Amino acid sequence: MQRRRSLQYLTLLGVSSGTLLAFSRLPEDIYSLPEFGNATLLHFTDCHAQLQPVYYREPGVNIGVGSERGQPPHLTGKSFLKYYGIEPRSLKAYAFSSVDFPELARQFGKMGGFAHLATLVKRLRDSRGAGNTLLLDGGDSWQGSATALWTKGQDMLSACNQLGVNIMTGHWEFTYGSEQVLANIARFSGEFIAQNVTLSEEARFERDSENDRVFKPYVIREMDNARIALIGQAFPYTPIANPRRFIPDWQFGIQQQRLQQLVNDIRERRLADVVVLLSHNGMDVDLKLASRVSGIDIILGGHSHDAIPEPRIVRNAGGRTWVSNAGSNGKFLAVVDLQIEAGRMRDCRYHLLPVFANLLPADPEMQDLIDAVRKPYLKKLQQPLEIADRLLYRRDTFQGSFDQLLLDAQLKVNDAQIALSPGFRWGTTLLPGQTITLEEVMNQTAITYPETYTRAISGRELHAILEDVADNLFHPDPYYRQGGDMVRVGGMTFRCHPDAPFGRRIFELRLPGGELLDAGKRYKVAGWAAVGAAASGRPIWDVVADYLQG
């Protein structure tokens, strides 16, 4: 019987029986979790509107600075596998690392997809009891695909409602504009929470309001065996990382002091047995926050797309806080089983489950919904543009091959000397030989400010731009980091010393022939996704489509 089940799973994975000995554990073990505790939190984050199963390569480089270097989440590849005791070339090695990615992707197949995620969520709810389970969405769910952009997040609202999301917070959701965000939240079956989003002074004056809250800061959920307080922490740097014009009346920030006061109030009034922060800070920021704010039991984090198999435990004045991050693109579902006794959390078991599309059958109701929302756009989405001649991916500290494609397109189509592209961490992966469709291009570019531009920029200004982004990425204080990877650059090269002070990290800016950039000379620079004043050029996906078809 054991071998028969093995062969059945291998058939699902497209693997021949001759490779059976390559598996040290049966795939079924991944989803067979031992029972523990009396309440369960299910958490996903940063799915970036990927309703369909995808390939997504985890970073090969994720540089940390100072004491963070070589520590989670700044571990990748073989070092990551060794640190967590993950067997190379296994299912988990494929899910959690970039090692041997093209080969393992062909062997194990795509991951994620809301229909497959729905199957896993239903199984866990059934096993633990619906009254003992909450499903949490850490944000960045309504943005990242063509259909999400074209429907202003309505496709994802339908899917999240069908999935049964109870509570969420946000980041890229805000780029649809405040009016659309509020309209979407009105359609959301769950609750949207964010303690760190407030009205500006001008907006409060105009509305003659003493309350500066835009959203509920927290909710208390009465479960069968516990009371859970969930506090929302939206991305604190939204008006800096994204255009402020979309949300002119809303202020953001970490709001550490306000958060501590909120936690203190919940604890002193004994409103809950467990306090959870549903965060979109990024893991480095959450680790510092956990050391500064006491009284939070668990931080379920997002934004930085770090797939961390085990939470890090941070000591603080009130005891300890578990800090986690649940990956991205629908690849993972975190399962947090809590043991609650006498009004407090006594223990916790954390599992970050990879969502393998070949091992989890598609939920029929969710698949029908996905097919329905995609149907009007299917012909356009499937428009073929080219064939990938190499692995096309985005995520890495300094460069990704799909980013290089975006840069090459701008250099060619816009006849520029130098090209810039933002270091977004979302964007799916294509294997060599796959067709690059318009949908695949949109998976890298689907934002509400996609316009391209060409400008004359001096060498001195280019250096300042790179220094500014590098400071955001490598500042020794995590509170000064806004997330994302290094801005991508085409038509020139540079060197970077991450641990150097501001103004001295970037050096040796050179043109392709080896000539150093002239600080006083102006160069024709192409770019897209301008955060300041709106650009007026063609959308980046049109530029890339022209380049590929040409």
Query: Could you give the residue range(s) of every CATH 3.90.780.10 domain in the chain?
Result: 382-549
Task: Of 350, 333, 547, 324, give the one whose Cα is nearest residue 452.
Answer: 547
Closest CA to 133 of 332, 393, 334, 309: 334
Mean pLDDT, the chain, as a whole number? Answer: 94
pLDDT in tens, 75-125: 999 999 999 999 999 999 999 999 999 999 999 999 999 999 999 999 999
Backbone angles phi, psi at 270, to 5 degrees: 55, 50
| CATH 3.60.21.10 residue ranges for the chain | 2-25+42-48+114-372
* Among the listed residues 420, 430, 436, the one whose alpha carbon sits nearest the alpha carbon of residue 381: 436
Q: Is the pLDDT of residue 317 over 50?
A: yes
Give the DSSP letter string of 412-464.
HHTT-SEEEE---S----B-TT-EEEHHHHHHHH--S--BEEEEEEEHHHHHH
- Residues 329-352 have pLDDT tens digits of 999 999 999 999 989 999 999 999
Q: Which residues, including other chains, have CB under 8 Å from residue 410's CB and lie 6 or more apart?
A: 416, 419, 421, 452, 490, 526, 527, 528, 540, 543
Provide φ and ψ at 108, rounded to 5°.
-105, -15
- For the domain bounded by 382-549, which CATH number is listed? 3.90.780.10
Q: How far apart (Å, rounded) are the C-alpha atoms in residues 550 and 547?
A: 5
Percent of the chain with pLDDT over 70: 95
- Between CA 421 and CA 183 the distance in angstroms is 31
Mapped onto helix, strand or coil, the DSSP state of residue 279 is: strand
User: In CATH, which of 3.30.420.40, 3.60.21.10, 3.30.70.580, 3.20.10.10 is domain 2-25+42-48+114-372?
Assistant: 3.60.21.10
**pLDDT above 80: residue 10:** no
pLDDT classification of 207: cutoffs 50, 70, 90:
confident
Residue-level pLDDT at 444: 98
Confidence of residue 446 (pLDDT cuts 50, 70, 90): very high
Between CA 535 and CA 530 the distance in angstroms is: 6
| Residue for token pair 């939070």 | 296
> Tens digits of per-residue pLDDT, 234-246?
999 999 999 999 9
237: which residues sit within 8 A by CB, 6+ positions away? 252, 482, 483
